[in-house]
Chain A
Amino acid sequence: MTKTKKINQAVFLFFGLLSLTVAFIACRKNFTESTVDTFSQSEAKEWYYGTFKKSPEWQQSTEKGKKLPDWKNGTYRRVGNMEIVEFPLMKERKSFAIPSASKLSSSEKRKITDGSLSRIVFIRAANGEMVVREIDYIPEMNFLELKGYDISDLSVGTKENKFSGRIITKKWDGTILSIRKSENGKITKTGIRKSNSTQKGNSLSTTTTSNTSGCEMVEICEYERYCEEVHVGDAWVPTGECTPWESTGNCWVEEYCGPGECDYGSSESCECQLYGMGCEGGGGGGEDPPPPPPDPCTDAQPAANATTSLSQNSSYTGAKSNIQGANQTVEHSITFGTDANGNTTASSMTSCTSSTNCTVNTSWPGAFADLHNHPTDQPPSPGDLYGLVTINQNQSNYNTRMVITPDGSVYALVVIDINLVNTFVSTYPKEQIGNYPPDFPDPIFTDFDNAKIQLQMQGFSNLVAEQMAMAFVLDKYNSGIALLKQDGNGNFKRLRTQENTANGNTTYSSNNCQ
């Protein structure tokens, strides 16, 4: 009996100590943990369909219906009282911005774009508020090699996280909140976009440079692909049919400065800061201040330089002369391209005798711009703008449409920011009557009309009133397209128009780039 009692005491002691050990270990790791929590994942899904899809944030995004979380492959982590659920994000159009792309071989660029991840993160703050963020993880080549070109098991905020690359945090509508550089799982630098989009060929002479403050300037270029997916209920099943990764032609410069911030998983306030949630009392947390608005003149300068350079080329002067020498009662068009040796070429001239046969030669090898005349005193029209955008969306290097008017004025519509252009045309698609040229939708149509009429009443000619009205609406509606005009010295400059209201009267004045 005594022996049995002793055995019972030993068993009790053993299990008691085991329980204490388990409790101790569990208590040590409960600040940051990474595990699969199906309840929170299903809760996030329920919230996505029940609340988020009805919200203005989802409804007003041009990307709505074009991306969907992969609900089966979520991860869950908890930091303090904050819960974070992350799912892979399936998108019809995938785009990643790759640093120093011109230094990389085609194969390396493809491996990085293939290996990059888009994810959607649902963050439930301590007060129950839900926030949605889209995160791009763009790995560095050496990290990708280390991981066997597959980083799909990446989980930030865990000890296993050794990610090296860029982490871009965006709102659901694609607005970038922050750019960070991570090395071996630690945030080492924060990035700021220093210049707006430039077209290929107008970028930094070197892809990475350091400035005097020790910050790193990096050239970034965007690549995209479209993938076909079958929609089955609340899931998208990839068909494997994807277009190859292609450059969008959109490049810019980002400045990376240290030191880095706190790391994922370190504290609640840090998570607030990293996800740009605007938490109160978050130890310096809160939504990153928006970058200063880009200067419209600086933005358009590379495009203006490229157009000036084209206008000095013999292919251009010959083309212009041919167009001006032809019957001036109808429109004539010539397309410019680049041959294998990098020389500018000009297509033969096409002429249009009615609105139905006004075609532009878009298949000219290396096509990047075109020139046509207007028989009347009209600068580039809304039809010219939507026509250029349609071409540009299929041929990203084709970004310029030049127009010559009867008085010899030469204008150019130039795509300066493809992302803005895409947003613009999806928000304000063209309006078309029969086979007549497309026009702006309301209210741009009305704003253009009002500005033109007011400018005419201020004494400007029809041509100048139209050019100023066009410049005004392109700016006002953040179109991503600049209207340039050649000055007396042969240089193309961006036209800008400002609206002034005083004493109940609205007037317009030039604010052109110099």
Chain B
Amino acid sequence: MKKIIKFLPVFMLLIINNSYSQQIMKTVNDAEKIKSNEQLFVNKPLKTLLKEIGPEIKMVTANPSKSSNSRLGYFTFRFVDTKKYDSCRQKNKYPKQITVFVKESFEWDVNSSKKSKWTNSDLVKYGELTVVGIRVFGESINY
């Protein structure tokens, strides 16, 4: 009994820690949870949101607007690779995507418009951009 009482705080700490470290989006089907928790990410750095996305991002596109007065800049994260995405579009299907609008203008390499991965260097380069809005669209397909 004494042992249980002794280790209880440790267990509690572990449980609390685990529950806080769980990501909001564990699977692609959870993408809508990112939208429903949008206020947790608005006016926060992009990296805060990205931490909550569990599934592998296999395709990234961006529209680096130079003036938010004309149109906001944004990143679109998808969970299928470019080949699969193109094949879905030809069947008029829209695979699930998360579009994140950011306040600041940024540079984006036009030659790699359809990036296959979101890398650590991307996180360093774009992670501090301020999120102003999120849109989730598309259907869950066979990932």
Chain A positions within 8 Å of B, measured between CB atoms, are 330-331, 352, 354-355, 358, 374-378, 381-383, 431, 433-434, 436-437, 439, 442-443, 445-446, 449-450, 452-453, 456-457, 462, 501, 504-506
Closest 4 CB pairs between A and B?
A433-B133, A442-B137, A376-B66, A453-B113
Contacts between chains A and B (CB distance < 8 A), count: 85
A450 to B97, CA, bound (A): 12
A305 to B48, CA, bound (A): 52
A450-B89, A453-B114 are known contacts. Are A437 and B137 too (CB-CB below 8 A)?
no
A355-B69, A376-B66, A376-B67 are known contacts. Are A501 and B90 too (CB-CB below 8 A)?
yes
Instruction: Tell me, yes or no, whether B63 is within 8 Å of chain A by CB.
Output: yes
B41 → A minimal CB distance (Å): 12
- Out of B63, B65, B90, B94, which one reaches A506, CB within 8 Å? B90
A378 → B minimal CB distance (Å): 5
B138 → A minimal CB distance (Å): 8
Chain A residues with CB below 8 A from B137, complex form: 442-443, 445-446
A505 to B90, CA, bound (A): 9
A449-B61, A504-B90 are known contacts. Are A352 and B69 too (CB-CB below 8 A)?
yes
A405 → B minimal CB distance (Å): 10
Whether A446 lies near B113 (C-beta < 8 A) is: no
Whether A439 lies near B71 (C-beta < 8 A) is: yes
Minimum CB distance partner of B74 in chain A: A449
Whether B69 lies near A331 (C-beta < 8 A) is: yes
A453-B61, A457-B113 are known contacts. Are A375 and B132 too (CB-CB below 8 A)?
no
Minimum CB distance partner of B62 in chain A: A453
A124 → B minimal CB distance (Å): 37
Instruction: Tell me, yes or no, whether B47 is within 8 Å of chain A by CB.
Output: no
Whether A383 lies near B86 (C-beta < 8 A) is: no
Whether B70 lies near A442 (C-beta < 8 A) is: no
A436-B72, A501-B90 are known contacts. Are A378 and B110 too (CB-CB below 8 A)?
no
Chain A residues with CB below 8 A from B63, complex form: 449, 452
Chain B residues with CB below 8 A from A374, complex form: 67, 70
Chain A residues with CB below 8 A from B89, complex form: 450, 506
B 8-63 contacts with A by CB, 8 A: 61, 63
Chain B residues with CB below 8 A from A457, complex form: 110-111, 113-114
A331-B69, A355-B69, A449-B76 are known contacts. Are A436 and B132 too (CB-CB below 8 A)?
yes
Minimum CB distance partner of B69 in chain A: A355
A55 → B minimal CB distance (Å): 24
A433-B132, A501-B90, A505-B86 are known contacts. Are A358 and B61 too (CB-CB below 8 A)?
no
Chain A residues with CB below 8 A from B71, complex form: 378, 381-383, 437, 439
